[in-house]
Amino acid sequence: MTSAIDTPASDPEQRDTVQEQRRRLRFRCWHRGTREMDLILGSFADSHIALLGPEELDELDRLLNASDPDVYNWITDREEPPPEMRCGVLDRLKSAGPPSTPGAVTVNLRGA
């Protein structure tokens, strides 16, 4: 019997598992606890989650287990993330910039 890890990516069962993980993570990104992080992470998920592979989805999952203030401070470079939280997804979040909404005022998250 093969596990999901051993199953080729073309296997429909693994695709379903990845799709389920994407749906779960997208929901978690939009339901953080603070509106600011809902907007930052939810917008990021809407535009990027379909492009993330299994390893990057795991990275996002780890980031979502951290507190909102910590993740916010890491994204805005107010604090250095601990080594175990440094990852490609955090870099992508930093480079994604603030979410844009038509007619919304843009806020500099990095503080100038």
Kindly state the helix (H) or strand (E) to which residue 24 belongs, with its residue range.
Answer: helix 12-30
Residue 4 inside a domain? The answer is no
- Number of neighbours of residue 111 by Cβ within 10 angstroms: 8
Any domain includes 2 = no
Distance from C-alpha of 24 to C-alpha of 61, rounded to nearest angstrom: 10
Give the tens place of pLDDT for each residue, 34-45. 999 999 999 999
The pLDDT of residue 108: 60
- Residue 96, pLDDT > 90, answer no
Mean pLDDT of the chain: 83
5: pLDDT strictly greater than 70: no
Task: Tell me whether residue 1 is in a domain.
Answer: no
Q: Domain of 31: which CATH number? A: 1.10.150.250
For the record, the structure tokens of 30 come out as 């939009």
Structural domain span for residue 68:
13-96
pTM: 0.74
